[in-house]
Amino acid sequence: MKLTRRKLLGTAGAAAAFSALPMRFAMAQDRSIRHFWWGNPTRDERTFQVIDLFKAAHPQIDVSGEAIGWGDYWTKMATQTAGGNMADVVQMDHGFINEYVSRGALLPLDEYVGNGLQLDHYDDGANAVGTINGGLYGVSIGSTSQAIPYNTRVFEEAGVEFDPLNWTTEDFAAACARITEHTGGAVTGSEDLSLYIENFEVWVRQAGREMYSEDGKIALTVEDVRSYWDFWGELREAGVIEGPDATVRLDKGMSELGIVRGTSAMTFRYANQVGAVQSLMADPVGAAMVPHRAGMEYGHFVLPSMFLSMTRDAGDKEAVIAYINHWITSPEAIVTLGLDRGIPPSEMGREALAPHMSEVDSRVVAYFSGIQDKIGPTPTRKPKGAGEVRDNFMRTGTEVVLGNMPASEAAERFVEDAGYILERAQ
């Protein structure tokens, strides 16, 4: 049998609130839940501290935490889902929540709202993305937007002057060239972002389009993909961004980033992750917008950085609700979490956090406030199969970065493959 690329793809895809709970739960001594999240050293430390706070307030409930890096998180999640062994509480991403709801892997939380789960203090619309087909499947635990973390010392010493809240791709390219020249190539201007679909999404929105249509199909164009890969290809050819060897390591851990290792001056992250980058390096880290193409829109949007969701394998559902509620109503928990998972989506949370913000936290909040008048509408919901489309983007882009395929051919292939992946996933 001839194994076509299409057939290959088809085969591959295969505290206060708790006190309101009934007393019959309060006396139990053998209750336990599991919490699974993707993390980094800073996030893991903060999360385990919140777990300890919860356990101190609810000694009858044990919580075991399981953390893994983003690169392996969804593979392990898929394995646990297939095996019927999901953790009781999982951290969800806006790009995957619709897919896991479609699989029946998450439970709606609506019956608990006002009955153990307090959401009346949340900002209007804060849980809109986590509400799917009329049901609440994910409680937002932070708001964020895209950002370009940059090494301010390197920028200053290279004499780069720019407006971090309003710069173009031409400004970005000039900064990369200046930094690389000033450091004699020891530090390139930026990580090569060819394989970052999250950065690419901003590029698409700058042209006034969305990644996906309302009916779950590909809405971007071949030209969107080609122009993006060509832009990074030109910088790569000029030698002002990191080379292929550093680029094709997919979903790198935070400590592997060029800005942390001191080999590049910029990378892509969400604003809430700037603090984690700062925690791994001595030079001060600033936050800039993703540069926009001259004459086009900014492309940014605000999104829930992540959700807490209850899985279909949850045993003690009341304990799960008490745990989630503790995260969003306990001032101690909110202060402990800081901005790592995003800016609190409630005024109560922001007021609790304000006196405790670090210098980098203050920079992140100032950045987030500064971009508000440049924020576009919330993007269309990512359809089932979006996770596999992301993987395909990285695989196909790798061929471009390694010089095995021209951007024009790779762009056509990616759009064709993505369309088929989504069609098959429905």
> What are 3-15's pLDDT values in tens digits?
344 444 444 443 3
Output phi, psi for 310, to 5 deg.
-100, 135
Band of residue 366 on the pLDDT scale cut at 50, 70, 90: confident
Residue 6: its pLDDT value, please?
45
- Provide CB contacts within 8 A for 238, sequence distance 6+: 176, 177
Q: Which residue has the tokens 């800016």?
A: 343
Going by pLDDT thresholds of 50, 70 and 90, the confidence category of residue 350 is confident
- 272 pLDDT more than 90: no
How many other β-carbons are positioned within 10 Å of the β-carbon of residue 343? Answer: 22
User: How many CA atoms, within 13 angstroms, populate the side-chain half-sphere of residue 290?
Assistant: 27
Instruction: Describe the strand order of the beta sheet including 307-310 as a list of residue ranges.
Output: 61-68, 31-38, 89-92, 307-310, 139-140
Among 97, 165, 163, which Cα is nearest to 175's?
163
Q: Residue 361 — very low, low, confident or very high, per pLDDT cuts 50/70/90?
A: confident
User: What is the secondary structure of 122-176 as a DSSP string?
Assistant: BPTTTTSTTEETTEE--EE--EE-EEEEEEHHHHHHTT----TTS-BHHHHHHHH
What is the distance between the alpha carbons of residues 68 and 127, in angstroms, rounded to a whole number?
Answer: 25
3 or 257, higher pLDDT: 257
- In tens, the pLDDT along 241-253 reads 999 999 998 777 8
d(CA 332, CA 290): 33
SS3 269: strand
* Start-to-end C-alpha separation, the chain: 26
Tokens of 192: 């090569």
15-61 pLDDT, tens digit each: 333 333 333 344 444 899 999 999 988 899 999 999 999 999 999 99
How many other C-beta atoms are found inside a 10 Å radius of the C-beta of residue 26? 11
3-state DSSP call for residue 13? coil
The span from the CA of 409 to the CA of 411, in Å, is 5
Residue 370 predicted with pLDDT over 50: yes
Judge whether residue 195 has pLDDT over 80.
Answer: yes
Q: So what's the pLDDT on residue 378?
A: 83
Judged on CB neighbours under 10 Å (0-12, 13-18, 19+), 29 is exposed
Cβ count within 10 A of residue 83: 9
pTM (two decimals): 0.77
Helix (H) or strand (E) holding 73: helix 70-82
Amino acid 209: pLDDT: 96
pLDDT digits (tens, 9 = 90+) for 381-391: 889 899 899 99
Residue 66 near residue 36 (C-beta atoms within 8 A): yes
CA angle (270, 197, 311) in 5-degree steps = 70
Q: How high is the pLDDT of residue 21?
A: 39
pLDDT at 26: 43
What pLDDT is attached to residue 124?
78
Per-residue pLDDT, 362: 87
* Those residues with Cβ within 8 angstroms of residue 362's Cβ, 6 or more apart along the chain or in another chain: none
What gap in Å lies between CA 261 and CA 155, rounded to an integer?
16
Confidence of residue 293 (pLDDT cuts 50, 70, 90): very high
- Please calculate the CA angle 150-154-160 and round it to the nearest 5 degrees: 85
> Chain-wide mean pLDDT for the chain?
90
The confidence score (pLDDT) of residue 296 equals 97
Partners of 303 in the β-ladder: 144
Please state the rounded mean pLDDT for residues 66-74.
91
DSSP letters spanning 223-246: HHHHHHHHHHHHHHHHT-B--HHH
Biggest CA-to-CA distance, the chain: 69
Q: What single letter denotes the amino acid at residue 36? A: F
Q: What is the pLDDT of residue 193?
A: 97
* Residue 2 clears pLDDT 80, i.e. is over it: no
Question: What is the set of domains in the chain, with CATH numbers?
Answer: 31-142+305-370 (3.40.190.10), 145-301+379-425 (3.40.190.10)
Q: In 158-221, where does DSSP find H-type helix?
A: 169-182, 197-206
pLDDT of residue 161 exceeding 50: yes
Residue 157, pLDDT above cutoff 70: yes
Cα–Cα distance measured from residue 138 to residue 345, given in angstroms and rounded to the nearest whole number:
13
Q: What is the pLDDT of residues 82-123, one digit of tens each?
A: 999 999 999 999 889 988 999 999 999 999 999 999 999 998
